[in-house]
Amino acid sequence: MRVLVTGHKGYIGTVMVPMLLADGHDVVGMDSELFGEDCLLGETEPQIPEFKMDVREVDSKDLEGFDAVIHLANLSNDPLGSLNPSLTYEINYHGSVKLAAAAKRAGVGLFIHSSSCSMYGAAGDAILDESAEFNPVTPYAKSKVLTEQAVSAMAGDGFSPVFLRNATAYGVSPKLRGDLVLNNLTGWAFTTGKVLILSDGTPWRPIIHIEDISRAFMAVLNAPREVVHNEAFNVAVPGENYQVRDLAAMVEEIVPGSKVEYAADGGPDPRCYRVDTSKIEKLLPDFKPQWTARKGVEELYKAYKENNLTEEDLNGTRFQRIRHIEHKQETGEVDSTLRWTSSTDEGELAPESELISSGSNR
C-alpha cells in the first residue's frame, strides 16, 4: 500500500517506518520536525520521501494517491498537552479532524489514528474493554476522545477510520522519549542509581513496546476492511498491565546497584486504568506482540550504557518533549503556536513529482 505516516520523525514513527518498509509498503512521511537531530539517541533516522509540513496546513491535494494515512503527529503526552490546552485542541483535535476530512476528500480509504488508552483516565482497578466509559483527566486525553468522536462520524463508503488506543509505550527508538514511565524509571536507575517514582506508585498502566504498537498498525493495514471499519482497539499486551511500583521493582532488579525511591512531592495520580485486549486478539490475529516489560528494561539499560546516557539527557531538552518545546519557544525558533518562525523552515511542500522519483523505498 502507499502509506502516508504523519509524525514519522517522532518516537514511534522512527521505529514504525522501517517496519512498514520491510513489510513491502511504499511510505511517505509528513512532520513539522519539532524534534530534530539534537533529540537523537545515537542512531540515525530512516530516510524516506517526506513533507516537512504542519498537519494543520494540510490540503486534500497533498493526500491524493495514498491508500492509507497513519496519523501519529500530535502533541504526545499529558504535560506537553497541559502547557497550552487550547493549542493541544488545535493540533490534536482540530488538526486531526482536518487531516481526516482532507484524506476522505482525497479518496484515501483507510485513516488509522494513533489514539490512547489514557482516554479511560480515572478508571480505578477495573479491566476495561473498548466499550468502557471515557474519563479523560487531561487536555491531551480529552483531545483524543474528541478526535475519535468527530472522525468516527465521517466513516462511510470508501472511508474507514480506525482508532488504535495505544497503551503507554516504552522501548529504544532513534527519537527516544525520556518522559515515558519505563524509559524514565530505567533512565533514573542508570544515571543516578535511584529508581525515582514520581507518583505514589499505585496507578495502573498498561504498557507496550513501540515495535508491538507498530505491529498493530501493520495488522490494520493488512486486515479486511470490513473487520476494522470505524472500529477502536485497545493496543496492549495480555498480562502487561502494571502498577508503577511493580515496574520500578523490576528496574531495581535489572539495573545493578539501583534502589527504588519515591519523589518527595509525588502524590496520587488520577490517571489509572487497566485494559482488556480480547478484541484486538480476536479481530486482528496478525497482531502478535513480542515484548514484555522485563525485556524492555534490559533493552533500555543496554542502550543507555552504549550511549552513555546522562541525567541531563534524560530530564532535559534532549529527551523530555515538554522541555524541548519550551526551549524552542524560549529561543524563538518556534512561536507560541508551535510554527517555525523562520520562513525557510516552514511548511515547504516538495513537489509530488520529486517525491515519487526520489523514493528510496520503492
Interacting residue ranges for ligand NAD, rule: CB under 6 A: 7, 9-13, 31-35, 54-56, 72-74, 76, 91, 95, 114, 116, 166, 168-169, 175, 177, 180, 321
Smallest distance, ligand NAD to C-beta of residue 35, A: 5
C-alpha cell at 69: 494515512
- CA distance to 6, 45, 79, 231, 357, per residue, from 150 (Å): 19, 33, 24, 13, 36
Closer residue to ligand NAD in complex, CB, 16/196 = 16
**Residues in CB range of 24: below 8 A, 6 or more apart:** none
For the CB of residue 31, give the shortest distance to ligand NAD in the complex, in Å.
5
Backbone angle region of 211, left / alpha / beta, with phi > 0 → left and psi within -120 to 50 → alpha: alpha
Task: Give the shortest CB-78-to-ligand NAD separation in angstroms.
Answer: 10
The nearer residue to ligand NAD, 137 or 261, going by C-beta atoms, is: 137
Name which of 21 and 261 has its Cβ closer to ligand NAD: 21
Smallest separation (angstroms) from ligand NAD to the CB of 187:
15
Nearest to 319 by CA among 169, 177, 168, 171: 177
> Strands (DSSP E) along 66-190, which ranges?
68-71, 110-116, 122-128, 160-166, 168-170
Nearer to ligand NAD, 73 or 247 (CB): 73
Please state the closest distance from residue 181 (CB atom) to ligand NAD, in A: 9
The CB-of-157 to ligand NAD minimum distance in angstroms stands at 27
Q: Between residues 40 and 250, which has the closer beta carbon with respect to ligand NAD?
A: 40
- The full DSSP string for 300-330 is HHHHHHHTT--HHHHHSTTT-HHHHHHHHHH
Nearer residue to ligand NAD within complex by CB, 12 or 100: 12
- Grid cell 468527530 is found at 150
- For residues 205 and 167, give the distance between their C-alpha atoms in angstroms, rounded to a whole number: 8
Degrees to nearest 5, angle at CA 168 with 165 and 174: 110
Rounded to whole angstroms, the Cα distance separating 231 from 233 reads: 7
The C-alpha angle with vertex 261 and arms to 255 and 263, in degrees rounded to 5, equals 130
Q: Which is nearer to ligand NAD, 5 or 195 (CB)?
A: 5
For residue 91, the minimal CB distance to ligand NAD (Å) is 5
